[in-house]
């Protein structure tokens, strides 16, 4: 019998551990149904909110590309380039909750064995705003959503009580998670922002509030490059730009670093890894660090909008890798490399020389001035 790709994550059974992340691939019921037909084990809907949403007057996402024979990085379309990253300033779903509600029910009825996660977002600045979280949570779970992902990480919010501005405030994270937990009958995943100093602090806040899992990473805050010919940002509206989010291959290593910090701090908790996944070898990184599921956005956007070839490769890659290594389930290798990330001083030095992290107690090298002071004292 071949390897078993099915996993249980936050109490939910997934046919396979791969989900489409909350983003354009999951912005409609037709996309989500196509995604399930293609083989994705689950989807996280594009984030649903209650406040009015109007996107910018121009493209919402572009792709930064590099060249093999020059250091040029540009969003301009040209042959022979390789994908470096995606850049977006797209807000959450511009469709209202009423638009989503009947669709969630229809999706779940058509695909009862696939996992439908509803991503939700509201403010946190008042009791009314906190009740909006509960309203969204109840509405989505009543339609059959299997889990709720709290968007505490959208990097484009002006409001100080929304998106990544909540995700930068541990207390707000705990409050929002707790408020949703009060009404939730399904697991809650908290999607954190990578743009903080020590993500372990925010993860702790989410777990204290009752989160069943952490999802990470959302996009990293960034700007599009400036075109040296026109002196304009490569993406702008009337010459103006706003901080946006970077995803895709460039963020894989950065996102792994965030994930490693959290899975080490909370080895018994559940994590869903996102950031730069386009094939199984990428997802494997997250699994080896301890994640139980993996999510994909940029690579799916570039593959017929919902990633039919990406999921095919992820499934085949996982099957082949597990069969070749004799692994029966994801649990046989989940977290296998979590403890290989150590303090710098624990890495072996050449010739058995000792290094203890550069602490002063080890003794500084004498400077010319201190050597003179010592010899004066001795004279």
Ligand X SMILES: Cc1cc2nc3c(=O)[nH]c(=O)nc-3n(C[C@H](O)[C@H](O)[C@H](O)COP(=O)(O)O)c2cc1C
Find the catalytic residue in 140, 154, 291, 297: 154
DSSP assignment of 282-335, as one string? Answer: HHHHHHHHT-SEEEESHHHHTTTTT-HHHHHHHHHHHHHHHHHHT--SGGGTTT
Among 86, 132, 195, 261, which residue sits at the site for ligand X (rule: CB under 6 A)?
A: 86
What's the Cα-to-Cα distance from 183 to each of 114, 167, 190, rounded to whole Å? 23, 21, 15
What HEC string does 67-89 produce?
ECCEEEEECCCCCCCEEEEEEEC
Smallest distance from the beta carbon of 214 to ligand X, in angstroms?
13
Nearer to ligand X, 3 or 217 (CB): 217
If the CB atoms of residues 46 and 334 are measured against ligand X, the closer one turns out to be 46
Of all residues in this chain, which one has the CB nearest to ligand X in the complex?
247
Cβ neighbours of 195 (radius 10 Å): 20
Q: Are 353 and 345 in contact (CB under 8 A)?
A: no
Q: Whole-number minimum distance, CB 25 to ligand X, in Å?
A: 9
Residue 177 to residues 2, 51, 84, 331: CA-CA distances in angstroms? 39, 19, 34, 28
298 binds ligand X (CB under 6 A): yes
At closest approach, how far in Å is the CB of 23 from ligand X?
4
Catalytic (active site) residue 154: yes
Q: Pick the closer one to ligand X by CB: 3 or 61.
A: 61
Which of the residues 11 through 50 are near ligand X (CB under 6 A)?
21-24, 46-47
Write out the binding residues for ligand X, residues 238-297 only, by CB under 6 A: 247-248, 251, 274-277, 296-297
Binding-residue total with ligand X (CB under 6 A): 30
Name which of 17 and 276 has its Cβ closer to ligand X.
Answer: 276
CA neighbor of 265 nearest in space, from 207, 330, 194, 217: 207
Neighbouring C-beta atoms of residue 271, cutoff 10 Å: 24
3 vs 187, beta carbon nearer ligand X: 187
Q: What residues are paired with 274 via a beta bridge?
A: 295
Rounded Cα–Cα distance for residues 374 and 369 (Å): 9
As annotated, the active-site residues are: 154
Question: Can you give the binding site for ligand X, defined by CB under 6 A?
Answer: 21-24, 46-47, 60-61, 86, 88, 90, 92, 119, 151, 153-154, 191, 218-219, 247-248, 251, 274-277, 296-299
């Amino acid at each position: 019998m071949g390897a078993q790709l099915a996993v249980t994550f936050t109490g939910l059974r997934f046919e396979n551990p791969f989900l489409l992340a909350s983003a354009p691939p999951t912005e409609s019921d037709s996309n989500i149904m196509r995604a399930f037909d293609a083989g994705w084990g689950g989807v996280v809907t594009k984030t649903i909110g209650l406040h009015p949403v109007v996107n910018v007057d121009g493209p919402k996402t572009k792709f930064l590309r590099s060249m093999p024979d020059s250091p040029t990085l540009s969003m301009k379309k040209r042959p022979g380039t390789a994908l470096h990253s995606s850049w977006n300033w797209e807000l959450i779903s511009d469709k209202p909750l009423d638009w989503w509600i009947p669709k969630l029910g229809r999706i779940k009825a058509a695909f009862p064995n696939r996992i439908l996660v509803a991503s939700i977002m509201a403010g946190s600045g008042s009791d009314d705003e906190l009740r909006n979280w509960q309203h969204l949570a109840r509405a989505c779970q009543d339609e059959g959503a299997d889990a709720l992902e709290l968007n505490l990480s959208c990097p484009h919010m002006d409001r100080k009580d929304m998106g990544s501005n909540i995700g930068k405030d541990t207390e707000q994270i705990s409050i929002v998670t707790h408020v949703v937990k009060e009404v939730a009958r399904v697991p809650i995943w908290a999607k954190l922002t990578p743009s903080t100093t020590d993500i372990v602090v925010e993860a702790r806040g989410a777990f204290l509030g009752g989160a069943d899992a952490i999802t990470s990473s959302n996009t990293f805050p960034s700007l599009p490059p400036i075109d040296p010919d026109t002196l304009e940002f490569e993406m702008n509206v009337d010459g103006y730009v706003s901080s946006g989010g970077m995803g895709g291959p460039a963020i894989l290593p950065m996102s792994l670093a965030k994930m490693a910090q959290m899975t080490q701090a909370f080895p018994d908790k559940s994590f869903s890894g996102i950031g730069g996944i386009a094939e199984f070898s990428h997802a494997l990184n997250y699994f080896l660090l301890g994640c139980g599921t993996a999510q994909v956005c940029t690579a799916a956007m570039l593959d017929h909008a919902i990633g039919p070839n990406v999921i095919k490769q992820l499934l085949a890659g996982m099957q082949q890798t597990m069969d070749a290594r004799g692994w029966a389930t994801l649990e046989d290798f989940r977290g296998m490399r979590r403890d290989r990330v150590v303090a710098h001083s624990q890495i072996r030095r050449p010739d058995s020389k000792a290094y203890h992290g550069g602490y002063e107690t080890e003794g500084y090298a004498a400077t010319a001035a201190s050597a003179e002071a010592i010899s004066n004292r001795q004279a």
